[in-house]
Structure 1
Amino acid sequence: METATAFDRFRDGYEERDWDDGADGTVRIALVGLGWFARDEALPAIADCDYADVTATISGSAEKARTVADEAGADTALTYERFHDGEGSDAYDAVYVATPNARHLEYVETAAELGKDVICEKPMEATVERAEAMVDACEAAGVTLMVAYRMQADPVMRRVRELVADGFVGDVAQAGGTFAFPMFANEDADPDQWRLDPDLAGGGSLYDIGVYPLNTLRFVLDADPTSVQGSLTSPDERFDGPVIDEHAAFLLEFDGGVQALCRSSYGSHGESSLRIDGNEGAITVENAFSPRGERTVVLERDGRRSRHEGLGSNELTEQFDYFAYCRLTGRTPTADGEHGLVDMQALDGIQTAAAGGRRVDLD
């Protein structure tokens, strides 16, 4: 998009799929892990897909697996044990892993052994070593591994990436992103949820929601950080700091001196935003990371400012269709396992930097 027309035409055709030139067939997906996100967000999103369909559900509870299968119109419902034994594997082509972080690896390994492609929730795992094992398992089996970075499929973020690449902001100088909400503002919030268990989560707000600005900035800037700094705090006694951080603030540094300052929090007023500043202009995305959120994009350059509101789509539907499209056409998704490892190394580096009060260089 030319800079001169970006202000007026940002929203024109922004929902068009720049990756979709057509594919034949449908990918049958098994849902592994039936928590609220898989059930309330992923399941209805896949129901709206062009190239994907849920044909199997897998849970620790046979009753839950059957109930969700009936909701999805799927014939096959399995326990985790039956999945590991390979039962019912003819009913699906790929698996979507949405279990707690530290349990991703075992289900991805089984899927790989069964010859099934995988889309795995982010972060990939609870540690870098386990994430590396996941990549190795999929490579050894010759199956595709995609990490579920839904923002990379969001049409708004794809248009923002295009603007940055076309030079709308000039040379990028600084950037930033925040994803925060008060976890316990609702009295019904569970203090024993797995996201607050160090053994299952690997980290707190940093791992769960800090990964959104981290990965989305990598995508929008088309660059990987070379070093990180960070601070993690847990003033609320319900958080087991420093591993399960309530608040995280971290600095990413990229080649050329580009800086990105990011925040995540389970205990501050809700915010969801992304900003890119260059030497000629700036782009701000409001309500940047909310599922199915209506986003607002503000463009600034040459003394002009335009505000584009109500830019909405279901980025989860886009994500699953993109994954299925890649499988049907034999293409490698951009957010593959090696891509996900960069985030895991950055998250680990931020924890190390916070513990030692120093900058950590990334390999």
Structure 2
Amino acid sequence: MEQPFAEYLDDFTRRDWQTLDPEDVSAPVRIAVVGLGWFAREWALPGIARSAFTDATVVTDVDAEAVETVAAERDVHGVSPEELRAGSVADEYDAVYVATPNATHLEYVTAAAEQGKAVLCEKPLEATLDRARRLVSACRDAGVPLMVGYRMQTDPAVRRLRDLVRAGVAGDVIHVHATMSQTMLGELGSDHDQWRLDAQLSGGSAVMDLGVYPLNTIRFVLGTDPVRVSGRTRTEHEAFADVDEHAMYRLEFPGGVDAMCTVSQNAQHASRLEITGTDARLILDPAFYEREDRGFALDRGGTRIDVDFEQVHQLEEEFAYFGHQLLAEEPFSPDGDHALTDMEALDGIYESAETREPVALSGELPD
């Protein structure tokens, strides 16, 4: 492999953010896990356990049976949401991970902030832009650090993609294409009575639940934010009557760079990100799902290079970063302000879908 590729792709899974040696850490960051859905149980809790910088010590959920089961399985404290919000076991954790339905993030993050606990909140931040702003303000006013769960940003494949774009390996970026789809009712279970199908709890489905992945990953890789968005949504299946089933959206970035994205909750499983520049194409395929290995390829001058690398557990990387930054007393990226840019873009995509007009983004953050 010739330069300029090798220097960025050698030691592919390196943690370019890590400065602490786990053996020098006296105690990991103790985490209270709020919300015990399939993602928390199958991915987040194992990720916390695999990370050398974190340890789950408390769990809670509105489902008391789930709390009892997980507490026994993990040998941790199981408490009710009311007990957690009241701070009954606040001495048992240093940070709070919120993985509940979108519209309930604010209440749990506010409670954690009032207790002086660091927060890792799942994305999107909340069900609406206004509530997301209130969430960020709650942490800022309390002086507690807030990280948002964009697990793609700590995945080495995405970080190497960003390195190559920054180094100009693709030349000038011309356009970006991304797609993310799944048969939600099959992959996440056949029960139609779930919060992702409830607009009040989710804020939307295809755009909010899936669209945030291409949106944020493209922002991260390009190192810039969209200035205008447009979108179109449609719904066909009766189970999605309250939310968007399929969506297409366009992100306009400075310099005339466009990103075209398609997402669907009811289509053949797909996950791909492709960046096309004047000199090369950079491809992640598969790209976005935690349950599939990432594929990384470069196509330059008619020669395609598929990079073979050791896969990582995305949630282990995310929680390792979260715990490491707290222990090192270093700031987080992505933080709350970063996530608010996504919330404004998501809000703009839905507005565009209604008005059939593009929506300019202000880029303004609250005081």
Instruction: Give me the TM-score of the superposition, normalised by structure 1.
Output: 0.95
Paired amino acid for 1:332: P
C-alpha displacement of 1:12: 2.8
Instruction: Select the residue among 42, 45, 57 that pairs with 1:43.
Output: 45
* 2:196 is equivalent to residue 195 of structure 1: yes
- Aligned runs of 1:307-346 on 2, under 5 Å? 307-309=306-308, 311-346=310-345
Letter in 2 for 1:340: A
- Where in structure 2 are there 5+ consecutive unaligned residues? 363-367
Q: Residues 266-306 of structure 1, C-alpha deviation per residue, up to 9 Å, x if partnerless? A: 11111100011111111011010121422211101233221
CA contact 2:8–2:163 (8 Å) conserved in 1? no
Q: What letter corresponds to residue 181 of structure 2 in structure 1?
A: A
1:78 maps to: 79
2:3 alignment partner, SS class: helix
Deviations 1:327-353 (A, max 9, x none): 111111111000000000000000000
Deviation at 1:355, TM superposition (A): 0.3
Query: Counterpart of 2:320 in structure 1: which amino acid?
Result: D
Q: How many pairs does the alignment contain?
A: 358
Q: Distance in 2 between matches of 1:239 and 1:167?
A: 42
Shift of residue 3 of structure 1? 7.0
Q: Does residue 249 of structure 1 match 2:251?
A: no
CA contact (8 A) 1:180 1:269 kept: yes
Number of the residue aligned with 1:299: 298
1:65-214 map, 5 Å: 65-74=67-76, 76-185=77-186, 188-214=189-215
Report how far residue 169 of structure 1 moved. Answer: 0.4
The 10-residue stretch of structure 1 (54-63 or 129-138) with the greater mean CA deviation from structure 2: 54-63
Cα–Cα, structure 1 residues 330 and 169, in superposed 2: closer, same or farther, change >3 Å? same
The amino acid that maps onto 2:200 is D
Query: Are the aligned partners of 1:3 and 1:168 in contact in 2 as well (CA < 8 Å)?
Result: no
Q: Which amino acid aligns with 1:72?
A: R
Q: Are the counterparts in 1 of residues 228 and 361 from structure 2 also a CA contact under 8 Å?
A: yes
Q: 1:305 to 1:186 in 2, by over 3 A?
A: closer
Aligned to 1:19: 17
Question: Residue 159 and residue 188 in structure 1: after superposition, are their counterparts in 2 closer, same or farther (change >3 A)?
Answer: closer
Contact 1:52-1:321 at 8 Å conserved across structures:
yes
* Structure 1 CA distance for aligned equivalents of residues 332 and 197 of structure 2: 31
Tell me how far apart the structure 1 counterparts of residues 60 and 45 of structure 2 sit (CA, whole Å): 13
Q: Secondary structure at the match of 2:266?
A: coil
Taking structure 1 as reference, are residues 172 and 234 closer, same or farther at Cα in structure 2, changes over 3 Å only? same
C-alpha spacing 1:63/1:263, structure 2 compared with 1 (3 Å):
same
Q: How far, CA to CA, are the matches of 1:185 and 1:32 in structure 2? A: 25
Deviations 1:197-242 (A, max 9, x none): 011000111100111101000111111100000000001121125x
TM-score (structure 2 length as normaliser): 0.94
2:35 to 25, 33, 36: 33
Secondary structure at the aligned position of 1:269 is classed as strand
The answer for the alignment partner of 2:286 in structure 1 is: 287
Q: Which moved more, 1:309-318 or 1:103-112?
A: 309-318
Identity of aligned residues (%): 45
Name the SS for the 1:224 alignment partner.
coil
Residues 187 and 228 of structure 1, relative CA distance in 2, 3 Å threshold: closer
CA distance in 2, matches of 1:196, 1:309: 38
Q: Which residue of 2 aligns with 1:58?
A: 60
Equivalent in the alignment of 1:233: 234
- 1:345–1:362 CA contact under 8 A, matched in 2: yes
Is the CA contact (8 Å cut-off) linking 2:12 and 2:309 kept in structure 1?
A: no
Q: Distance in 1 between matches of 2:253 and 2:310?
A: 29
Tell me the CA shift for residue 11 of structure 1.
Answer: 4.7
Question: Structure 1: any 5+ residue segments left out of the alignment?
Answer: none
CA distance in 1 between counterparts of 2:192 and 2:342 reads: 27
8 A contact 1:49–1:321 mirrored in 2: yes
Q: Which residue is equivalent to 1:359?
A: 358
> After superposition, what is the alpha-carbon deviation per residue over 1:18-54, rounded to whole angstroms, capped at 9, x for unaligned?
0001153310000001111111111111110010000
The CA RMSD over aligned residues, in Å, is 1.6
Contact 2:8 2:164 (8 Å CA) reproduced: no
Conserved in 2, the CA contact under 8 Å of 1:156 and 1:311? Answer: no
Cα offset, 1:9, TM superposition: 6.5
Moved more, 101-110 or 20-29: 20-29
